[in-house]
A = this chain, B = another copy of it.
Amino acid sequence: MGDDNRRWRLRRRPEGPLTPDVFELVTESIDEPAVGEVVVRVLALSLDPANRVWISGPSYRPPVAIDAVMDGFAVGKVVRSRAEGIPEGTLVTGDLGWQDYATRPADEVRKLPHDNKRPVSNYLGVLGVTGLTAYFGLLGVGKAKPKETVLVSGAAGATGSVAVQIAKMWSCRVVGIAGTEAKCQWLTDLGVDATINYREQDVRKALEETCPEGVDLYFDNVGGSILEAALFAMRQGGRVVCCGAISSYDDNKPPASPRGIPGLFIAKRLTMRGFVVTDFERRFSDGIAALAGWIESGHVQVREDRVEGLENAPTGLMGLLAGENIGKRYVHVADQD
Q: Which single residue of chain B is at the shortest CB-CB distance from A240?
A: B262
- Could you tell me the distance between the alpha carbons of A267 and B54 in the complex, rounded to whole angstroms? 12
Task: Please report A residues at the B interface, Cβ cutoff 8 Å.
Answer: 59-60, 220, 223, 227, 242-245, 248, 254, 256-276, 279
When distances are taken between beta carbons in the complex, the residues of chain B under 8 Å from A227 are 261-262
A137 to chain B, nearest CB (A): 11
Chain A interface helix/strand/loop/mixed: loop
- Could you tell me the distance between the alpha carbons of A136 and B204 in the complex, rounded to whole angstroms? 33
The 4 closest A-B pairs by CB, nearest first: A265-B274, A257-B257, A242-B262, A266-B274
A225 to chain B, nearest CB (A): 12
- Could you tell me the distance between the alpha carbons of A220 and B266 in the complex, rounded to whole angstroms? 11
Tell me if B245 and A266 are in contact (CB < 8 A). Answer: yes
When distances are taken between beta carbons in the complex, the residues of chain B under 8 Å from A262 are 220, 223, 227, 242, 245, 272, 274
A190 to chain B, nearest CB (A): 25
Tell me if B269 and A279 are in contact (CB < 8 A). Answer: yes
Contact A260 to B257, CB < 8 A, known contacts A265-B242, A274-B267: yes
Tell me if A242 and B266 are in contact (CB < 8 A). Answer: yes
Best-buried of A260, A264, A271 by chain B (most CB within 10 Å): A271
Tell me if B268 and A274 are in contact (CB < 8 A). Answer: yes
Q: Which of B60, B261, B268, B271 is within 8 Å of A258, CB to CB?
A: B261
Q: List 19 A-B contacts (CB under 8 A).
A: A60-B266, A220-B262, A227-B261, A227-B262, A242-B266, A245-B266, A248-B263, A257-B258, A261-B261, A262-B272, A262-B274, A265-B273, A265-B274, A266-B276, A269-B275, A269-B276, A269-B279, A270-B273, A271-B274
